[in-house]
Structure 1
Amino acid sequence: MKTQKNTKETIDGVHERFNGAVTLRDLAGSQARYVQGSGKTRVTSLVTDSRRVVPGSAFFALPGLRTDGNEHLQEALDRGAKVIISERDEIDLPLGVTGLKVDDPRLALAEFARRYHGTPDSVLRVVGITGTNGKTTVSTLTRHLMERPGRPVGLIGTVRYHLGDREIPSFKTTPESSDLFALLRGMLAAGCSEAVMEVSSHGIHQARVAGLGLEVAAFLNLTRDHLDYHGNMESYFREKRKIFNGANGSLPKIAVINGDCPYGRRLIEELPPQVQVLSFGLEDDNHFRAKNLSLQSGGSEFILEAPAGTMVVTSPLIGSYNVMNVLASFAILHALGHSVPDAVRKVGAFEGVDGRMETVEGGQSYQVVVDYAHTPDALRNALGMLRECTEGKLHLVFGCGGDRDKGKRLEMTKVACAGADKVWATADNPRTESQTDIFRDMRKGLSKGAKISFVEDRRRAISLALDAAEAKDIVLIAGKGHETFQEVQYTAIPFDDRLVAGELLAAKLLSA
């Protein structure tokens, strides 16, 4: 369901609506130690970016991958910061500025932000959805199934943030805690009583959701991704587990877990006994189970076995992995006390998600699909699903991101060559790496006789794939989905696969 009032706003606008003076003693937790000043200082905003500091702000000097907030203290002070929070023992501060020493600035930020915005998660019923793949689809579908006239539902995710009465472009899947609690407060102000959000492993590790109260935590799956950050799958899993076992600061009331996933089954075994579990999947022992699947080019149909009974589900989402996404949404609704039969009737009206199996029409005789698949498992699922739907050949355009898990690149190439008839490997957010180096890693996954071309220019690669397609073929452009830019050397260059494909189709139609 689309937001009824399509009012646009920025995150700065949200902060401006809710910023107000609060004494530091009302915000600081037990771990804070004053190195200068006192708790009487009044704080007007919580800021992590020195460029966003305004007079009266509390500036949190967060450690980062590329820069350290402590290196920007002078800029924050010049802009009027009244409080500096840092993990350093000694900070040279002018008179009139309060300094706090904390063990973990990110954790302190989450505690401050939650109190500053009035603990909105204690009033909102918040659903946190985590997993390698499917978070955006499940969160968007769940919100669609939950909303009723006059009862808006908030959403925080990869594509956009919905606050109930307005919409904000997403800038992080899981925003910083100072932004997150402001968004939740905005949802309450707009009349929301429930909110759905995507919870990334980075967001958990960086304490962006520390202490966040979750009514329901949902685990969708776990496959290879972000190992450049987490190091290995065990560390990756342990981060995800934190929002289920209390390590994040609170326990969810109910955990919705993929019972078919090996990591999901392990998670169920390791949960504290006070957390209720609802499992979903295709196997017999799940609380929400799909059987007799009928997968078609226009969607899917299956029999749902659930606590509320047995029902026939007709979904507009294609592919077996989207059946799992639908099951997850149904289980979440049941956990919240919503009617699953009503959700079954409503799922057919779901309009899908931007950049997820999104088709591009331009009068062509073949199908063009844009999808966000950027992990080996997601790409395998996308190709497998489209293979079931096409009567002709399956063409693929894909790439691997720079400055990210290099070991994933050969796996992506293996999946691409195994699943598509013809492949064009190209650029996908190279960031600071040379495309030549990225291609070198990708070539390690080549199989004998693979029909693959390496084309550095993404627009050119898409054009070549469209030229090769014939009637009844499918062209999958994978990796970027809803994104509207390419990241190159710290610069965001405008690039939207959907727009580019549409422009190329229009040009080819004119020249035909």
Structure 2
Amino acid sequence: MNLKVSQLLGGSEIVRHQLREDSPVSCLITDSRRVVPGALFFAIGGLRTDGNLFVEEAVDRGAVAIITEENLGQHFPIDYIQVTDVRKALALVSRQFFGAPDAKLGITGITGTNGKTTVSMLTQHLIGGQDRVGLLGTIRYDLGKRTLPSFRTTPESVDVYALLSQMVDNGCAEAVMEVSSHGVDQKRTYGVDIDVAVFLNLTQDHIDYHKSMESYYEVKKRLFTGETGSCPRAVVINVDCAYGRRLLEDIPKGVDVITFGIEAKTALIRAENVSLYAERTEFDLTWPGGQVHVSSPLLGRYNVSNLLAALAIARAKGHSIESVLDRVASFPGVPGRMERVDAGQDFNLLVDYAHTDDALIHACSMLREITPGRLIIIFGCGGDRDRTKRAPMLRAALDGADEVYVTSDNPRTESIEQIFADMRAATGSEAAHYVSDRKHAISLALDCAKAGDCVLIAGKGHEAYQEFDGTVIPFDDRQIARELIRMKSIS
């Protein structure tokens, strides 16, 4: 039996309400175009539009009540509830509507500028696998018995609780979530009972939204301090990152803390004597009570950090390090994260999601150590996003690679000429090759590559599309690269 409107409002901060009918609720909706009879409509204000503009449409489509931050007046034709924070109300109502599925799962929430996808999928693999451990992330949503393509790294709260509910129904006892800063700030994870919260790193990104690194940090911190509605039982923190070391001071008393790192000698779980190879990475893993030599199929020093994070999570979840290490070698990797493309060429070709200057620095540094020849990179910067990171990204590429091809990423509504102009501020010269068409840029880079070289196509990773002025077109770096290599081999 469907719950009535009044039964779903527990915990919401109500300013005033009008509940004449108090009807049963069939679904929770935030888009007026999707309202059906019996729906409870949440009028959410956004960056581009305001749900309050579509309240009349929601009424016409059969909504039983409206939840809003506005006073709709005593003559409003249906029930409404005015709340202080509609996003918080959406999260709390969603949790109630779907029967608090988070309380039935051991949830790990992972946040950080870089590495969330790799750590979340690696953690899932180590602690139980895709069928037993649910996953909400950038690439996919694993729900136990089925998998859906991801439509957002951290979905809206109503979708988070709906997906967690499906995991419970499908027999999952654990879940791993990527938690973006937008997700925290917009209360998409508000109220979620997170068992283990994980901090990977913090580097410049999303400053167009957060306005400053300090604000960016303060938003991330909420996941660890109880400001998202519940305090985690344990936290896992990268103490190689200065913001991670700072976060240690902000963790509430009584929360278990597990630290990891490569450089930090104080880390509880750490890697020493790291050796990088073209096909693997080796290091000595040390933790309280144990030490072992590890050979991982994941490439690069930053993937050592990602693996340490996953091992620390496993320990926080009650697994022994020894028991999960046996699964490392069988990890299939992450789509679009240092993914090797082999079409018979005599040089190394990798596709990676690196889309910040820090990620490019680490990617180039890693590839330098395993590449005997030249390093050639193709990348771009997204349109309608943080313009201040464009010049640092180009500087990172120029400092790290021998040949740099600058091209389109997802220009969206912004002109490629403006994006290129912002990037040129890094050099004041034509030190890079500027090629507007991404496929042409990849083709030119492949023509440039010789035996022993390495070509890195960065920025889009697993994404199979490009966005141009409201239009989405198919474009997969991996597929395009394979097709170009085959064409060149027969020409």
TM-score (structure 2 length as normaliser): 0.97
Give 2:226's aligned residue.
Answer: 246
Tell me if structure 2 keeps the 8 A contact 1:136–1:159: yes
Aligned residue type for 1:381: H
Given the alignment of the two structures, is residue 104 of structure 1 paired with residue 85 of structure 2, yes or no?
Answer: yes
Given the alignment of the two structures, is residue 200 of structure 1 paired with residue 180 of structure 2, yes or no?
Answer: yes
CA distance in 1, matches of 2:90, 2:235: 26
SS in 2 for 1:427: coil
Given the alignment of the two structures, is residue 231 of structure 1 paired with residue 211 of structure 2, yes or no?
Answer: yes
Aligned residue type for 2:38: G
Cα offset, 1:447, TM superposition: 6.7
Aligned residue type for 2:188: R
Given the alignment of the two structures, is residue 52 of structure 1 paired with residue 34 of structure 2, yes or no?
Answer: yes
Give 1:17's aligned residue.
Answer: none
Select the residue among 187, 209, 212 that pairs with 2:192. 212
SS in 2 for 1:481: coil
SS in 2 for 1:401: coil
Considering only aligned residues, what root-mean-square deviation do their CA atoms show, in Å? 1.5
SS in 1 for 2:285: strand
Give 1:318's aligned residue.
Answer: 299
Cα offset, 1:34, TM superposition: 4.8
What pairs with 1:108-187 in structure 2 (closer than 5 Å)? 108-147=89-128, 152-187=132-167
Select the residue among 49, 64, 88 that pairs with 2:46. 64
CA distance in 2, matches of 1:106, 1:396: 41
Tell me if structure 1 keeps the 8 A contact 2:198–2:236: yes
Given the alignment of the two structures, is residue 28 of structure 1 paired with residue 16 of structure 2, yes or no?
Answer: no
CA distance in 2, matches of 1:321, 1:447: 31
**304-313 or 41-50, larger mean C-alpha shift:** 304-313
**213-222 or 333-342, larger mean C-alpha shift:** 333-342
What residue ranges of structure 1 are gaps of 5+ in the alignment? Answer: 1-19
Given the alignment of the two structures, is residue 506 of structure 1 paired with residue 459 of structure 2, yes or no?
Answer: no
Given the alignment of the two structures, is residue 422 of structure 1 paired with residue 403 of structure 2, yes or no?
Answer: yes
Give 1:76's aligned residue.
Answer: 58
Cα offset, 1:478, TM superposition: 0.3
Tell me if structure 2 keeps the 8 A contact 1:242–1:248: yes
Cα offset, 1:36, TM superposition: 2.8
Give 1:280's aligned residue.
Answer: 260
Aligned residue type for 2:354: A
TM-score (structure 1 length as normaliser): 0.93
Tell me if structure 2 keeps the 8 A contact 1:131–1:200: yes
With over 3 angstroms needed to count, the CA separation of the structure-2 counterparts of 1:93 and 1:190, relative to structure 1, is: farther
Tell me if structure 2 keeps the 8 A contact 1:308–1:341: no
Question: Percent of aligned positions with the same letter in both sequences?
Answer: 53
CA distance in 1, matches of 2:58, 2:379: 42
CA distance in 2, matches of 1:56, 1:313: 56
Aligned residue type for 2:37: P
Tell me if structure 2 keeps the 8 A contact 1:379–1:415: yes
CA distance in 2, matches of 1:247, 1:424: 43
Tell me if structure 2 keeps the 8 A contact 1:152–1:164: yes
CA distance in 2, matches of 1:47, 1:466: 48
Cα offset, 1:93, TM superposition: 7.1
Tell me if structure 2 keeps the 8 A contact 1:308–1:340: no
Given the alignment of the two structures, is residue 398 of structure 1 paired with residue 390 of structure 2, yes or no?
Answer: no
Cα offset, 1:148, TM superposition: 5.6
CA distance in 1, matches of 2:399, 2:195: 41
With over 3 angstroms needed to count, the CA separation of the structure-2 counterparts of 1:448 and 1:67, relative to structure 1, is: closer
Cα offset, 1:90, TM superposition: 2.2
CA distance in 1, matches of 2:104, 2:67: 28
CA distance in 2, matches of 1:91, 1:190: 44
Tell me if structure 2 keeps the 8 A contact 1:394–1:420: yes
Cα offset, 1:211, TM superposition: 1.3
Give 2:459's aligned residue.
Answer: 479
Give 2:347's aligned residue.
Answer: 366
Aligned residue type for 1:475: V
Given the alignment of the two structures, is residue 357 of structure 1 paired with residue 341 of structure 2, yes or no?
Answer: no
With over 3 angstroms needed to count, the CA separation of the structure-2 counterparts of 1:454 and 1:448, relative to structure 1, is: closer
CA distance in 2, matches of 1:273, 1:300: 37
Aligned residue type for 1:114: R
Given the alignment of the two structures, is residue 300 of structure 1 paired with residue 318 of structure 2, yes or no?
Answer: no
Tell me if structure 2 keeps the 8 A contact 1:417–1:446: no
CA distance in 2, matches of 1:492, 1:82: 35
Aligned residue type for 1:414: R
Q: Deviations over 1:2-53 (max 9, x none)?
A: xxxxxxxxxxxxxxxxxx6211122113413454324732111111112222
